[in-house]
């Protein structure tokens, strides 16, 4: 398991715990880290990733082998769809002389984000449930073995509609995330190239992606909290009823519950994603024989 996905998964676990914590639960990112390590051990940070290990974990013989996980399935469905649709829409409206306006980029990103949210919803439900499982009493845990087992059990025990529980807030969150991440990245990149002496290089890509990560985290935080609460709930509740209950119990502070671990997770993830994507595009244009105007950034 590479360091970046490992860190992202641990921060996601902390974020979910903060967003779903009870009134007497640990407060703040560091306190939540300590609470998880103390009560659930190191593997408690990776409830969304399934592990198979020796039932007698003596140090010399202990084996930890990552299996198919809900988080991986989510990336394969949600991220692939939103990035693929956005790039296809953007390239189809880009010529050597013109490029889509910023409002057009927002519309394209919103469309691709919505489709990605719907495509990735089943895996997202599983991911949230598996992360939230460790915070529940042993008798209340679902104990999905892996993503496939979770999909089968959810369909069998709760019906196929359970795979799309929270699809509306999840899709809206995906719309906000994609618009604030992809469209804002392109917007910040244009501003940097137009108003600074920087060229189209790693410094520009890093700066634009860092700003995009900050914007995406802040805009998506309220919807992210709602999505987590809805998906982790044992019973189906309407979003309106959930908002009323949360506001009465916590005031407006609920909107940014888990913001710090979310930014620590999303910031580096956004930077790494766009740095890789930019290099991939350059290689694609170089070996595909395209000019700089074709398949523009």
277: Cβ contacts below 8 Å, ≥ 6 apart: 83
Task: Tally Cβ neighbours within 10 Å of residue 256.
Answer: 15
- Per-residue confidence (pLDDT) for residue 54, from 0 to 100: 39
Which tops the pLDDT comparison, 284 or 26? 284
**Cα 285 from chain centroid (whole Å):** 29
- Mean pLDDT within 190-205: 93
Q: Quote the CA–CA distance of 256 and 137 in Å, as a whole number.
A: 26
Which tops the pLDDT comparison, 145 or 279? 279
DSSP-assigned letters across all residues of 232-254: H-SS---HHHHHHHHHHHHGGGG
Which tops the pLDDT comparison, 225 or 2? 225
Q: Quote the tokens at residue 152.
A: 């089968």
Q: Quote the CA–CA distance of 133 and 235 in Å, as a whole number.
A: 15
Say if residue 114's pLDDT is above 90: yes
With 0.75 as the threshold, say if the pTM is over it.
no
pLDDT tens digits along 81-98: 999 999 999 989 888 788
Q: Quote the CA–CA distance of 199 and 218 in Å, as a whole number.
A: 28
Residue entry with tokens 């449930």: 129
- Per-residue confidence (pLDDT) for residue 208, from 0 to 100: 96
Which tops the pLDDT comparison, 275 or 32? 275
Q: Quote the CA–CA distance of 208 and 198 in Å, as a whole number.
A: 12
pLDDT tens digits along 237-278: 677 777 777 777 777 777 777 788 788 888 888 999 999 989
């Amino acid at each position: 398991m590479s360091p970046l996905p490992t860190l992202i998964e641990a921060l996601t676990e902390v974020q979910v715990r903060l967003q779903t914590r009870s009134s007497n639960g640990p407060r703040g990112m560091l306190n939540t880290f300590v609470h998880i390590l103390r009560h659930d051990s190191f593997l408690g940070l990776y409830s969304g990733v399934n592990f198979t290990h020796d039932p007698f974990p003596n140090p010399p013989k202990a084996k930890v082998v990552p299996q198919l996980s809900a988080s991986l399935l989510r990336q394969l469905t949600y991220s692939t769809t939103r990035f693929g649709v956005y790039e296809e829409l953007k390239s189809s409206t880009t010529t050597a002389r013109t490029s889509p306006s910023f409002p057009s980029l927002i519309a394209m990103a919103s469309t691709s984000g919505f489709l990605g949210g719907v495509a990735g919803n089943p895996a997202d439900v599983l991911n949230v449930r598996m992360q939230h499982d460790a915070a529940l009493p042993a008798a209340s845990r679902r104990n999905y073995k892996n993503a496939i087992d979770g999909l089968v059990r959810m369909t069998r025990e709760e019906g196929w509609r359970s795979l799309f529980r929270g699809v509306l807030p999840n899709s809206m969150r995906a719309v906000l995330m994609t618009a604030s991440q992809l469209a804002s990245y392109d917007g910040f990149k244009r501003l940097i190239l137009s108003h600074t002496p920087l060229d189209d290089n790693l410094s520009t890509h890093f700066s634009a992606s860092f700003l995009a990560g900050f914007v995406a985290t802040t805009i998506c935080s309220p919807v992210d909290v709602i999505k987590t609460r809805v998906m982790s709930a044992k019973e189906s509740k309407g979003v309106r009823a959930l908002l009323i209950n949360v506001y009465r119990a916590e005031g407006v502070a609920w909107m940014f519950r888990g913001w710090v671990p979310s930014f620590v997770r999303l910031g580096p993830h956004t930077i790494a994603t766009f740095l890789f994507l930019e290099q991939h595009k350059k290689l694609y244009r170089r070996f595909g024989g395209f000019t700089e105007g074709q398949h523009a950034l």
